[in-house]
Amino acid sequence: MNLRYRSRLIVALLLVAAACGSSDDGSALNDPVAPVTTESVPATAPASEDVSEGDESSAPQESSPTGFELTVGSCEQAHEFSILCEAYDILSREFVDELDLEKLAAGAARGIEEFDSDEPGASPAGVTVCPLPAEDFEATCSAARNALATGSATVDSVVQAAVAGMLAFGLDDPNSVYYTPAVLAQLDEERSGTISGIGSLVQTEEVVDGDSQRCSIISETCMMTIVGVIEGGPAEAAGLAVGDVMLTVDGQSVLGLGTDEVVSLVRGEEGTAVELLVDRDDEPLVFVIVRAPIVIPVTDAEMLDGDVGYLRLSQFTTNSAELFRSDLQKLLDDGATSLIIDFQNNPGGALQAAIGVASEFLDEGLILRTLSPVEDREYEARDGGLATDVSIPVVVLVNGGSASASEVVAGALQDAGRATILGTATFGKNTVQQQFSLSNGGAVKVTIARWVTPAGLDFGEDGILPDVVVEYPDGATTQFLVDEALAYLAG
């Protein structure tokens, strides 16, 4: 079953390439540009508490023309709606912020109302129970009754639409999403390493009253834009550029699709082609790109003029801290007296890797703090950093494709005054997600924690503002910021 929504689209940053790993301790700063990498956990049992009053809640409603009846009852009674109760229970226990139950229920209702079924005429005759995990969900059951009364949708499709809508419209969090069983199967296949991509970074934003903000569903106003291409990858070779707005994938409009659905469309078997229609400065352009494995060197180091050591980290994998340390030691041994650390288009990854990299420049102190309903945690710098000597100037390069773990390191070094951050504002991804399986074979990915800098700054919306803001000129590559950093260090 495909969940399609009218005039909508999902937001986020995503790497149509390789996924980064989760953190070593289970507190993953999931890569916002790749599929979820945390392990699924068993679905919780549907809530058993009956929040209805008396017998009125379970009284049969007026029969529809199809002979189908929907009654209101408890989660324990509502077997066909079980995943709605499961998702609600997961959100109640795990979601990082306090839930607005009225908004959550309204989001579920909106998901049903905007759902476009591709399985018409399959509603069974008989009585089905719609659950009230909270009293506010009467509006959800009303929307379900209206949708099913027409006989144009299945109970299963309506329930999935309710769960999708609850997360998409009820949370104000573009990173919490519902995966249908079909989409989840595609993501699992991608994680197996059998799927290739094109090597691009995209971000979805909506402009409201002149200000851009994250959105969670792709629509006429919420657009998916290319914010980076992987050097040497298929997208760069084909001519895809920063600022291009995605319109279709192999002829299918991205309107109404979720981020992960778009990623699944773009990815495919190595050697096969995908056709993208994009808008570039109000001109439609078509690119046919041959998919290939996206192999990104984790580190790249070299000595530059003026005894400047240059070290690029492309992603935070579980072993990137060790690779980073090895290259950093070589640069210092070769006589580097100042350092340029390049996080341009680094989408993030493992939290423990971020702590390890930051600890190379900080001899003590807090690196970040994570906040969650379960517990708050603080992460301190580790001993033995190679470049903690403040006489070694450090410049960290960032841009709109620098996210998650990249922001952990940049934020910690900025707060400590240990490095100068140079470039453009970062992506603004400071949340942690975990995936929870549902009894229908689908899953929900839920934001379970938020991290803040040592100074307590939460820049999940606007990203990290560099100390030295340098805007890219048209056509500039990542080398542009490297040259700007060299000029900065030269005084």
CA distance 377 to 421: 26
- Residues linked to residue 202 through DSSP beta bridges, in sequence order: 14, 226
Strands of 373-440, DSSP E? 377-380, 394-398, 420-423, 431-437
Of the candidates 104, 103, 85, the one whose C-alpha atom is nearest the C-alpha of residue 44 is 85
Integer CA distances (angstroms), 395 to 123, 324, 465, in order: 62, 16, 14
DSSP, collapsed to helix, strand or coil, labels residue 249 as strand
**Active-site hit among 216, 429, 437, 445:** 429
DSSP letter at 394 equals E
Q: Which class for 370: exposed (0-12), middle (13-18), buried (19 or more C-beta within 10 A)?
A: buried
- For the record, the structure tokens of 216 come out as 């969670």
Active site residue 404: yes
Give, for 235, the enclosing helix (H) or strand (E): helix 234-238
Question: For the chain, how long is the longest CA-to-CA vector?
Answer: 82
Active site residue 58: no
State how far Cα 259 lies from the chain centre: 8
CA distance 76 to 79: 7
Pairing of strands 126-131, 68-73: parallel
Name the phi and psi angles at 206, rounded to 5: -125, 135
Active site residue 376: no
**Active-site hit among 31, 136, 260, 415:** 415
Name the phi and psi angles at 109, rounded to 5: -65, -40
Of the candidates 280, 286, 312, 479, the one whose C-alpha atom is nearest the C-alpha of residue 406 is 312
CA distance 64 to 222: 37
- For the record, the structure tokens of 461 come out as 């919306």
**Active-site hit among 74, 404, 406, 437:** 404
- For the record, the structure tokens of 121 come out as 């005429």
Give catalytic residue positions. 404, 415, 429
